């Protein structure tokens, strides 16, 4: 619960504790990953050449894309970084062409992922708390890619859910309450 102090700029005239239900009514539904993820995806395969994958990344204006095997299972992420490593291999290590995505992807075991039913603040914390710069997270259901959530989705959603809050202090309190709700829901899992 949020404790909103009495303030002349506050539309709530008296000191009032806002419950989760009231805050959801004020802001609308607190989103989950499935509500904000991109569902129309660029999907790559391990046997695709790096050149073809790089063209697709460029055409779609994305930095990375999920890679799936022939059964549709997620095997990792391929990024512009993989393209550059491949280029370095060709030039300096004389690795023969063609280079395949499977040799230059970030494997599934090293990739942060998220599920579609994860709360918004869980996604935010994965981006923030990682030791590596993450631009997007693949969204998985039973090992299959069902979407992707990018930093831009997080920022857009933040502005959407806080648009109706009149001042910055209340935004911070509201986001803090969302995080406490995330922590409580993760304890129950």
In a domain, 101, yes or no: yes
Interval 11-24: pLDDT, tens:
444 443 444 444 44
Kindly report the CATH number assigned to the domain that includes residue 111. Answer: 3.10.580.10
57 and 42 Cβ atoms separated by less than 8 Å = yes
Task: Give the domain extent around 44.
Answer: 35-155
In a domain, 135, yes or no: yes
In a domain, 150, yes or no: yes
Interval 44-54: pLDDT, tens:
999 999 999 99
% the chain with pLDDT above 90: 56
Within the chain, where are the H helices?
20-27, 33-36, 50-60, 80-92, 120-129, 151-162, 168-188
In a domain, 42, yes or no: yes
Please give the pLDDT value at position 101.
97
Q: What's the number of domains the chain is made of?
A: 1
């Amino acid at each position: 619960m949020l404790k909103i102090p009495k303030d002349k700029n506050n539309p709530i005239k008296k000191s009032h504790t806002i419950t989760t239900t009231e805050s959801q009514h004020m802001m609308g539904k607190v989103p989950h990953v499935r509500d904000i993820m991109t569902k129309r995806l660029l999907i790559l395969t391990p046997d695709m050449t790096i050149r073809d994958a790089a063209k697709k990344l460029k055409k779609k204006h994305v930095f990375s894309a999920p890679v799936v095997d022939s059964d549709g299972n997620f095997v990792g992420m391929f990024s512009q970084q993989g393209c550059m490593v491949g280029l370095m291999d060709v030039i300096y290590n004389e690795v023969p062409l063609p280079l395949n995505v499977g040799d230059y992807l970030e494997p599934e075991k090293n990739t942060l992922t998220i599920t579609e039913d994860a709360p918004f603040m869980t996604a935010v914390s994965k981006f923030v708390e990682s030791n590596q710069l993450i631009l997007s997270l693949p969204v998985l259901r039973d090992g299959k890619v069902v979407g992707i959530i990018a930093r831009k989705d997080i920022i857009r959603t933040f502005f959407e859910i806080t648009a109706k809050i009149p001042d910055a202090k209340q935004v911070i309190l509201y986001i803090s309450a969302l995080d406490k709700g995330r922590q409580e829901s993760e304890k129950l899992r």
